[in-house]
Amino acid sequence: MPRVSPRARIYTIVASAAVAAAAAVVGVTAATHTSPPRPLGPREGKPPYAADWTASPSLTSSVRRAMSAWPEGTVATMRRLEREHPASSFVRLNLGLALFWQRDDAGALAAWRQAKRLEPDTPSAVRAGDLLHPNSPHGLPQFQPSFVRATTNAERLLIQGVRLQESWRPISAERKFREAARLAPNLPDAQVAAAVGLYDKDRPALAFGRLGPLARRFPRSQTVRYHLGLLLVWLGRFADARREFELATRLAPGTPLAQDARELAKRLANVRTK
């Protein structure tokens, strides 16, 4: 099996942490400000269209046309689609982008919160989480197996979960990880994956509450330390993350996981810490 976390992913993680901004949306941090925006008129340019491969072709076409028509009828059309598809995170995500470009920051935040809640197992929900938490790296932390090739049912479930994570299906991935943890209660990889799969930008304590005790249960486990570092990156605690990556490297210096940890630690040395 090819490595799930190629070196390019390291650059993405650290670059995201360094810039601390949501993808494709310049200045989206303003949307989290508590004071009302001044009436400056629409933002420059046009809102990006946020695709979602889980949406139906007909709905995809309708949303794309509405966003491309900006500013002619975009918000009105997206509001109509919102009424016609009340459970669609895809619609809410793009509606929020249109509202943000219209400088309706409160409306944009409300739409993105709905997008994250309505269909949490979709790319739209993950992207909404990015917009709601612009100071966090994009996406969600991904579990990185310490094994090269799956040889057990639990390991095969872990690989399925990783592929679901890569497809931006976090809830489905978490279910695979949870099942692997049930099948292999003494396998550090399975227990770590189950913890990482719980990570939610609104409630990071869920994942840390499960991952932290594993450091005591498996004190010599490289995968525990590596993933503690990864979750700390998502919290913006870069100095603490770097220490975990350095410890992971020392535990087993010759492994692929150590190579990733070493590279992450080196690159985080140049990132602002808090």
Radius of gyration in angstroms for the set of CA atoms belonging to the chain, rounded to a whole number: 20
pLDDT at position 187 = 97
pLDDT at 42: 74
pTM score, whole prediction: 0.84
Domains and CATH numbers, the chain: 7-13+139-268 (1.25.40.10), 24-132 (1.25.40)
Q: Which two structure tokens, joined as six digits, stand for 60? A: 């995809």
Per-residue confidence (pLDDT) for residue 93, from 0 to 100: 97
Cis peptide before 71 (omega within 30 of 0): yes
Query: How far is 166 from 170, CA to CA, in rounded Å?
Result: 9
pLDDT in tens, 168-183: 999 999 999 999 999 9
Residue 199 · residue 206 · CB < 8 Å: yes
Residues near 176 by beta carbon (within 8 Å), at least 6 away in sequence:
157, 158, 160, 161, 164, 197
Decide if 132 contacts 182 (C-beta within 8 A): no
Per-residue pLDDT at 221: 96
| Burial of residue 52, with CB atoms counted within 10 A of its CB: 0-12 exposed, 13-18 middle, 19 or more buried | buried
- Total number of residues shown for the chain: 274
Q: Which residue has the tokens 């799969």?
A: 197
User: What region, left, alpha or beta, does residue 169 occupy, with left being phi > 0 and alpha being psi -120 to 50 degrees?
Assistant: beta
Q: What pLDDT was estimated at residue 1?
A: 32
- The residues, any chain, with a CB within 8 Å of residue 232's CB and separated by 6 or more, are 238, 240, 241, 244
pLDDT tens digit sequence for 127-158: 999 999 998 899 999 999 999 899 999 999 99
pLDDT number for residue 244: 96
* Residue 220: Cβ within 10 Å count: 9
- Tell me, what DSSP letter sits at residue 85? -
Residue 39 CB contacts under 8 Å (≥ 6 apart), including other chains: 103
Q: Which stretches of the chain score pLDDT less than 50?
A: 1-8, 11, 15, 17-37, 39, 273-274
Record the tokens describing residue 211, joined without a space: 């991952």
